[in-house]
Amino acid sequence: MSTTTERPTPVATAAPAARPARVRPRGESSPPARALSHGILILAGLIALFPVAWIFYVSLGPDKSDYLHAGGILGKLTLSNYQHVLFDTDFFTWFGNALLVSGVTTVFGVLLAATTGYAVSRMRFPGHRPLMWSLLVTQMFPIAVLIVPMYTMLSDLGLLDSYLGLILVYSTTTVPYCAWLLKGYFDTIPVEIDEAGRVDGLTPFGTFWRLVLPLARPGLAVAAFYSFLTYWAEVPFASTFMLSSDKYTLAVGLQTFVSEHDAQWNLMAATAVLIAIPSAAFFYLVQRHLVTGLTAGASKS
Amino acid sequence: MSVAVQGATGKGSREREPRPGLLERVKRSYAKHWYAYAMIAPVVLVLGALVIYPLVEGIWLTLTDANSLNVARKIGVNEIPASYNFVGFHNYADILWGPGSYDRFWSHFIWTIAWTAICVFLHYTLGLGLALLLNKKLRGRAVYRMLLILPWAVPTFVTVFSWRLMLSDGGIVNGMLSSLHLPQPGWLTDPLAQKAAAIMVNTWAGVPFMMISLLGGLQSIPAELYEAAEMDGATPWQRFRYVTMPGLRTVSSTVVLLGVIWTFNQFNVIFLLFGTGAPDTQLLVTWAYRLGFGQIPRDYAQSAAYGVILLSILIVFTAFYRRWLARTEQANG
């Protein structure tokens, strides 16, 4: 049925012609419909790609107003912006700060959240429902509700403009979120495994530590990656609490190129590309797990 | 998310055992709960110290007239004690129906609601459409998937800057519009165009999450259901309406709830696209930030009051949403 099209897919040609012509096998469609699908996907793909490609292109132009005369960039492609950003600015400091803060937050969040996720997944105890509710409600906190009291608290404790302060602030959202995510993952591990452990004489902690935690490694990884990527790119708290330029994270540092007086768009673009490359690479490495981890709790319970 | 809770509470029956005597039961439940409490202790401590305490402190601040000029602070070696006063519910009353409350609150409120509704609708419909296409047996599916996920893979603060370049006067978007002889709105300056730009950028950034989650949901629908529907001669539309949509219900309810919460609280897109200027385009959350940190003197009390109002709106919404979900669940068996 598809031998005459200009786009014969291997699947289509392999399909037996024995099926009634009226109802096509699922997932296959007529040539025009398929062409339309490809057309829509190509268009959507271009829209998704364009802004990212554009900032890369702009980053190759040497002048700060080059983005206004995009055609001109072709004639003077240069890597000088990158050179300037890498060697004449605090890029590596910001990079290190972002790595440190989001890395420590992630480890802290996942470690603390793991036992709680397990407890709410497996055990019923007085206070279970309020705890689940508060885990859900903390997801809803608009930054405005915590940012002011956090600011006064941290300034009382002398933790403004310090890594520890920012890590504590990030923990407010990452700990409940990880607990939530891990609860969803623990729900997918059969309870029979726990029961087998108990029969063999393990305590609940022993069951958790020796049997369930090793099985939940993918879930832990998802929680870790997710919070890492979130705090890697967090803006409002970082730009409010980190005051001196040697403490900036990347999200804050990037904004310094564009001030009211002088907008160095070309340097900003180059920095943006430098930030985007590692995080996108990291994201693509883990995205398959990210998706299953995100939907596991919802679809399997 | 909400579904996970309900599913989990239903699972409690798994652990129920035949009832022994009262004393034995208390003992046993104590042993059991002791473990549970020990395991949740770290999170409860963190929530208490880092969420509940600041929240209470924040709610207290909303009942005062605290700003950056009268809170306790240190200048050099001199410690200046706090000198703000308790004003009761004055801040809330002022925000909700004080002079100029339309410009300060209600206009942002309406815009925030419209923004959330439009963005979540676009995220969901576009995400579902693309997920359906990606779920077909098409050549190059993996490549399309990689491309379409890109807005999610690159951090927002990077992509929003790119959009800012593209949307600026004389940027590429208006360049293209002018070559097509179409009007060229001032995307970053004209209030209406600003809103359109913000929705466009946020939609661009938010579709991949919906698409991938829904794709996961689509792939978990058993193929037998479709085969049965085909046997019965169901049209593609009927298969979509009676097999696909019900099969997606759990995933959909979760991602829509998450989408509403995230979009309602969306900070990065507005803040990075317009900064604290563009008063008409500020969502409630960025407006609250601006009151607290984008002006001098910083109005801590009002900013926190906005935060409390925002949180209340979301909690009320979530409660209704979950009740509505439970009802439709029952209605559909």
Question: In the structure encoding, which two tokens stand for residue A93, read together?
Answer: 């400091």
Residues 6 or more apart in contact with residue B244 via CB below 8 angstroms: B132, B218, B221
Q: Do A239 and A153 form a contact (C-beta atoms < 8 A)?
A: no
- Res A243: pLDDT: 85
List alpha helices for chain B, DSSP H: 2-10, 22-47, 53-62, 90-97, 101, 107-134, 141-148, 150-153, 156-167, 172-179, 191-219, 223-231, 236-239, 245-247, 249-264, 268-274, 284-293, 300-331
State whether B99 and B72 are in the same domain: no
Q: B191 in contact with A at a CB cutoff of 8 Å?
A: no
The residue among B27, B51, B80 that closes a domain is B80
Q: Which of B137, B304, B308 sits opposite A9 (nearest CB)?
A: B137
Q: Which residue from A179, A183, A204 is spatially nearest to A194, judged by alpha carbons?
A: A204
- Res A43: pLDDT: 93
State whether B60 and B108 are in the same domain: no
Of the residues A30, A81, A145, the best mutation for testing chain B's interface (the one with the most B CB atoms within 10 Å of its CB) is A145
State whether B299 and B211 are in the same domain: yes
Q: B82 in contact with A at a CB cutoff of 8 Å?
A: no
At A16 the three-state DSSP class reads coil
Number of Cβ atoms within 10 Å of the Cβ of A285: 11
Average pLDDT for residues B61-72, to the nearest whole number? 83
Pick the range with the lowest mean pLDDT from A51-55, B207-211, B246-250: B246-250
Q: Is residue B85 part of a domain?
A: no
Torsions phi, psi of A258, nearest 5? -120, 95
Q: Which of B32, B43, B261 sits opposite A123 (nearest CB)?
A: B32
Task: Decide if A120 and B8 are in contact by the 8 Å CB cutoff.
Answer: yes
For the purposes of burial, counting CB atoms within 10 Å of the CB of A261, is it exposed (0-12), middle (13-18) or buried (19 or more)? exposed
Provide, as residue numbers in chain A, all residues whose Cβ is less than 8 Å from the Cβ of B143.
45
CA distance B180 to chain A (A): 17
Q: Is the pLDDT of residue B170 over 80?
A: no
Query: What chain B residue is nearest to A288 in terms of C-alpha separation?
Result: B212
Task: Decide if A251 and B157 are in contact by the 8 Å CB cutoff.
Answer: yes
Q: To which CATH superfamily is domain A91-300 assigned? A: MetI-like (1.10.3720.10)
Query: Total structural domains in chain B?
Result: 2
Q: How many CB pairs under 8 A join A and B?
A: 332
Q: What is the DSSP string of A190-224?
A: -HHHHHHHHHTT--HHHIIIIIIHHHTHHHHHHHH
State whether B228 and B292 are in the same domain: yes
- Cα separation, A291 vs A295, in Å, equals 6
Complex ipTM value: 0.79
- Cα separation, B126 vs B136, in Å, equals 16
Of the residues B154, B272, B273, the best mutation for testing chain A's interface (the one with the most A CB atoms within 10 Å of its CB) is B154
Among B residues 4-63, those touching chain A with beta carbons less than 8 Å apart: 4-9, 11-12, 14-15, 32-33, 35-40, 42-44, 46-47, 50-51, 53-55, 57-58, 61
Query: What chain B residue is nearest to A187 in terms of C-alpha separation?
Result: B8
Q: Is residue B7 part of a domain?
A: no
**What CATH code is carried by the domain that includes residue B179?**
1.10.3720.10
Q: B109 in contact with A at a CB cutoff of 8 Å?
A: no
Task: Decide if B40 and A120 are in contact by the 8 Å CB cutoff.
Answer: yes
C-alpha torsion A29→A31→A33→A34, nearest 10: 80
Q: What is the CA radius of gyration of chain B?
A: 25
- Res B103: pLDDT: 83
Residue B82 gets which letter from DSSP?
P
Query: What chain A residue is nearest to B289 in terms of C-alpha separation?
Result: A144
Q: Do B325 and B2 form a contact (C-beta atoms < 8 A)?
A: yes
Cα distance between the two ends of chain B: 20
Query: What chain A residue is nearest to B232 in terms of C-alpha separation?
Result: A23
Among B residues 231-270, those touching chain A with beta carbons less than 8 Å apart: 233, 250-251, 254-255, 258, 261, 264-265, 267-268
pLDDT band at B3 (very low <50, low <70, confident <90, very high): very low
Task: Decide if A45 and B144 are in contact by the 8 Å CB cutoff.
Answer: yes
The residue among B53, B80, B107 that closes a domain is B80
State whether B40 and B162 are in the same domain: no
State whether B75 and B161 are in the same domain: no
* Number of residues assigned to chain B: 333
Q: How crowded is the C-beta side of B91, counted as CA atoms within 13 Å?
A: 27
Select the more confidently predicted residue: B55 or A2: B55
State whether B21 and B51 are in the same domain: yes
Task: Decide if B144 and A41 are in contact by the 8 Å CB cutoff.
Answer: yes
Mean pLDDT in each 10-residue stretch from start to end of chain A (301 residues)?
Answer: 42 44 57 88 92 88 76 77 85 90 90 88 83 83 83 85 89 85 84 87 85 85 83 86 86 79 80 87 77 52 35
- Res A298: pLDDT: 45
Mean pLDDT taken over chain B: 83
State whether B275 and B178 are in the same domain: yes
Q: Which residues pair with A258 in a beta bridge?
A: A263
Domain residue ranges in chain A: 91-300
Per the structure, the complete domain to which residue B66 belongs is given by: 17-80
State whether B123 and B218 are in the same domain: yes
Question: In the structure encoding, which two tokens stand for residue A210, read together?
Answer: 């020796």
Cα B173 to Cα A69, A70, B191: the distances in Å are 12, 11, 17
- Res B198: pLDDT: 93
Question: In the structure encoding, which two tokens stand for residue B140, read together?
Answer: 């190059």
Packing angle of the helix pair B300-331, B2-10 (nearest 10 deg): 50
Query: What chain B residue is nearest to A125 in terms of C-alpha separation?
Result: B33
Q: Is the pLDDT of residue B89 over 90?
A: no
Task: Decide if A269 and B51 are in contact by the 8 Å CB cutoff.
Answer: no
- Cα separation, B198 vs B129, in Å, equals 22
Query: What chain B residue is nearest to A170 in terms of C-alpha separation?
Result: B50
State whether B301 and B219 are in the same domain: yes
- Res A26: pLDDT: 55
Q: Which residue from B161, B159, B194, B165 is spatially nearest to B279, judged by alpha carbons?
A: B194
Task: Decide if B50 and A171 are in contact by the 8 Å CB cutoff.
Answer: yes
Average pLDDT for residues B261-285, to the nearest whole number? 86
Q: Do B273 and B198 form a contact (C-beta atoms < 8 A)?
A: yes
Task: Decide if A176 and B289 are in contact by the 8 Å CB cutoff.
Answer: no
State whether B44 and B139 are in the same domain: no
Of the residues A148, A151, A275, the best mutation for testing chain B's interface (the one with the most B CB atoms within 10 Å of its CB) is A148
At A9 the three-state DSSP class reads coil
Q: B160 in contact with A at a CB cutoff of 8 Å?
A: no
- Res A47: pLDDT: 92
- Res A239: pLDDT: 87
Q: Do A251 and B157 form a contact (C-beta atoms < 8 A)?
A: yes
- Cα separation, B232 vs B221, in Å, equals 18
Task: Decide if B40 and A116 are in contact by the 8 Å CB cutoff.
Answer: yes
- Res A207: pLDDT: 87
The residue among B55, B80, B105 that closes a domain is B80
Task: Decide if B292 and A144 are in contact by the 8 Å CB cutoff.
Answer: yes
pLDDT tens-digit map of B120-138: 999 999 999 999 999 888 8
List alpha helices for B48-89, DSSP H: 53-62
Q: Which of B40, B162, B217 sits opposite A131 (nearest CB)?
A: B40
State whether B31 and B153 are in the same domain: no
